Amino acid sequence: MHSSFNLQQFLSATAVKAHVEFPVEAFPAPLQKIIKDLWDYLLYPVDFTGSSLLMAMGVAVGNALKVQVKKGWLESTLLYMALVGRPGTAKSHPLSFALSPLHKRDRGLYLTHREEMKEYKRELAQHKKDKGGMPPPDKPIVSKSVIQDSTPEALLEVLQNNPRGLVLYMDELMGYLNNFNRYSQGSEQEMWLTIWSQKHLIQDRKSGEPINIPSPFVAVVGTIQDGMLESMAKGGRSVNGFLDRFLFAKPKNLEKAYWSQVEIDSSVEEEWEKYMDNLFEIPMELNEEGSPSPKVLLYSPAGHALLSEWQRYNTDLVNSAPTDSLAGMYVKMETQCIRLSLVLQAAIWATCEGDLDRVGTQAVQGAIMLTEYFRRTGTEVNDIITNYSPLDSLPEDRRRYYESLPNEFSKAEALNLALDHGIKPRTLADFLNKATLFRNTGHGKYIKLI
């Protein structure tokens, strides 16, 4: 990360790129090394690895930290993430690596709980024999971080007993989506909208105690094939804001790779586990009601100024978006950027690259870079789902002009044709900067993308 980061230059350069590479440089140096090592030795695509690490770190932090954007506006590290790619393109492996410290931790907690249950059953049996009027022993509560296939009711019960938070991990995300309302005709999809927003979650149940969770934290992560993206949008999920809540890791031109002939050092996994352990060491305080009372970080003055500058850019994109679906996704990018900045600040601290007193410019810069990557992949997914073409939003004269251009052309050729169509040079310059329509190949040469 460079201290000379110029936001406007970055945004301008990103806007004209035909493809936005996953910004590995957004991470602190020790995590950059892990991402690169997993590519060099195991051929894990950096998009999948980096996104998986972000997800896992967010879960480890959970409700222990929040960042204050403005008074009364707090955000956590909660993310919904989908890794998109063809079969056999190493989607699951990076995710398994990133979540391995969580699985290892959960296994230890499960073994402890199993022993506690044995003791509980012995004490309960003795209590029934004694009949002395003493209260029965308390039943042990299982602690965990990862859940998989679960009924909504069971999920909320586990969540209530694990206030730090959980991650719902489904290797195939369509399994998660197909489960909606499988167990009941309730509003499970609405429940997930509420959880992402971390709004108060209340559920009255016919059996058992009512559920009341003031700050629900359940991240969602899994993989999905390109061909299933349209199915992901069914059930109104493309119009009710559900898909807008997902970040999509989607490498370009992804193909199955040949095996690497070199072995990865075991220290890579050990380092990752150490960093995750550090994040779990962040204490999560509880208030008098037993609800999370997170440590609240503020932005540094420079970090907040940079975030505010980016927010103005994002707001302009929302207001000028050609479709409601894109506008909805861009709106959520504001929250995603804030949450990513908190994840990165925690990562900076966990890797001993900085403190945990405030969210600084390094974390904000990285979050902006990541958000612009996810904006591009989210736009690609949106176009697939809606069958939208950027040509649909062009005025008729611009569409005719675009169709008159050859597939490859020079700026001089474009200018000559523009004059024939009554398009002024200044207007042409803005038109050629549309990254959804053109790729600038350098030296005044362009390629049409549609």
Residue by residue, DSSP assigns 288-317 as: TTS-B--EEEEEPHHHHHHHHHHHHHHHHH
User: Rounded CA gap, 64 and 285, in Å?
Assistant: 7
Confidence of residue 427 (pLDDT cuts 50, 70, 90): confident
3-state secondary structure of 244: helix
pLDDT in tens, 55-99: 999 999 999 999 999 999 999 999 999 999 988 888 999 999 999
User: Rounded CA gap, 87 and 97, in Å?
Assistant: 18
Under DSSP, the state recorded for 257 is P
In a domain, 359, yes or no: yes
The pairing of strands 80-84 and 211-213 is unpaired
On whether both 403 and 382 belong to a single domain, the answer is no
On whether both 401 and 378 belong to a single domain, the answer is no
In a domain, 6, yes or no: no
More reliable by pLDDT, 431 or 277: 277
* Length of the chain measured in residues: 450
Closest CA to 372 of 427, 317, 324, 415: 317
Please check the confidence at residue 236 and state whether its pLDDT lies above 80.
Answer: no
- Segment 23-27 shows an average pLDDT of 98
Share in percent of the chain as helix, strand, coil (round to 5): 55, 15, 35
User: Rounded CA gap, 65 and 78, in Å?
Assistant: 11
Please check the confidence at residue 337 and state whether its pLDDT lies above 50.
Answer: yes
- Nearest-5° Cα angle at 46, 44 to 48: 75
- Segment 340-367 shows an average pLDDT of 97
More reliable by pLDDT, 188 or 347: 347
pLDDT of residue 206: 63
On whether both 368 and 428 belong to a single domain, the answer is no
Q: How far does Cα 31 stand from its chain's mean position?
A: 17
On whether both 313 and 408 belong to a single domain, the answer is no
Side-chain-side CA neighbours of 256 within 13 Å: the count stands at: 4
Please check the confidence at residue 185 and state whether its pLDDT lies above 60.
Answer: no
pLDDT of residue 202: 85
Side-chain-side CA neighbours of 135 within 13 Å: the count stands at: 3
On whether both 307 and 406 belong to a single domain, the answer is no
- In one-letter notation, the amino acid at residue 100 is S
- Segment 132-158 shows an average pLDDT of 87
On whether both 200 and 256 belong to a single domain, the answer is yes
On whether both 101 and 122 belong to a single domain, the answer is yes
- Segment 300-309 shows an average pLDDT of 97
pLDDT of residue 165: 96
> For the domain that residue 278 is a member of, what is the CATH number?
3.40.50
pLDDT of residue 292: 92
In a domain, 257, yes or no: yes
On whether both 222 and 173 belong to a single domain, the answer is yes
* Residues spanned by the domain of 358: 24-387
In a domain, 305, yes or no: yes
Under DSSP, the state recorded for 242 is T
On whether both 316 and 414 belong to a single domain, the answer is no
On whether both 222 and 330 belong to a single domain, the answer is yes
On whether both 98 and 238 belong to a single domain, the answer is yes
User: Rounded CA gap, 404 and 418, in Å?
Assistant: 10
For the chain, how many structural domains are there in total?
2
- Segment 170-197 shows an average pLDDT of 80
Cα–Cα distance list, 92 to 24, 149, 247, 380 (Å): 19, 17, 16, 21
Please check the confidence at residue 204 and state whether its pLDDT lies above 80.
Answer: no
Q: Which helix (H) or strand (E) holds 411?
A: helix 411-420
pLDDT of residue 183: 57
- Segment 388-414 shows an average pLDDT of 85
User: Rounded CA gap, 311 and 303, in Å?
Assistant: 12
On whether both 350 and 433 belong to a single domain, the answer is no
Q: What does the mean pLDDT of the chain come to?
A: 90
In a domain, 3, yes or no: no
- In one-letter notation, the amino acid at residue 448 is K
DSSP for 32-65, written as a single string:
HHHHHHHHHHH---HHHHHHHHHHHHHHHHGGGE
- Segment 232-245 shows an average pLDDT of 82
